[in-house]
Amino acid sequence: MRYMMLICGRSHDESRPLPDDPMDSATEAWVKEMDGRGVRLTGNRLRPASMATTVRVENGEVLLSDGPFAETKEQILGFDLLECENLDEALEIAAKHPAAQYGPIEVRPLWLWPGETP
């Protein structure tokens, strides 16, 4: 079954220094382990929510607004798409991610399209 792992946190959390390298060594080790296990299909960090554009369609009119869809302190900072046997495995993988020490990680199953096999 496929799961989306959403890594949440504060984009400018002063309590955690940002690494010089785009991927710190702990996260790099996690990626290598999960890729080796064959459970991580893809993933990446996201640019800050301040760079987002929100799209809405109201009465047939496309409305665009800068920034995130809601004002929140925590934002989605990155994601990983997982292929796991079950939710327990997906949760075990999320708990191993270094970002879990600094903020929540949401694990959510994906809907399958008709005819699509897990």
pLDDT at res. 21: 52
pLDDT at res. 14: 46
pLDDT at res. 20: 55
Can you tell me whether residue 81 is helix, strand or coil? strand
CATH 3.30.70.1060 for domain 2-12+23-109, yes or no, is: yes
pLDDT at res. 85: 95
pLDDT at res. 12: 55
Average pLDDT of each block of 10 consecutive residues along the chain (118 residues)? 91 53 79 97 88 89 80 82 96 94 92 78
Say what the pTM is.
Answer: 0.79
Nearest residue to 30 (alpha-carbon basis) of 89, 96, 103, 104: 96
pLDDT at res. 56: 87
